[in-house]
Amino acid sequence: MELLEQIETYLVRTGTSASTFGRAVVADPRFVQDLRDGRQPRRRTKQKVSNFLLTAEGFALACSDKSHEAGR
């Protein structure tokens, strides 16, 4: 999946605004909008965003698993 698609999925799933995501992950509130407009991030920036998304996904899954266990 392309980086922008992964970000868009994260934004929808978490209800995070594009500017909040950009500010928190790469200190650039226009980052997501710039990607939408065709910006090609550097390899290091891509890696930083990918690492964030993997960590966030792992955290969400862990929280989800614990909430399921609590309901048993």
- The 10s digit of each residue's pLDDT in 9-37 is 999 999 999 999 999 999 999 999 999 99
What is the DSSP annotation of 4-51? HHHHHHHHHHHT--HHHHHHHHHS-TTHHHHHHTT----HHHHHHHHH
Q: Which amino acid is at 60?
A: A
Q: Which residue has the higher pLDDT, 37 or 57?
A: 37
pLDDT confidence of residue 65: 61
Q: Please, which pLDDT band fits residue 57 given cuts at 50, 70 and 90? A: confident
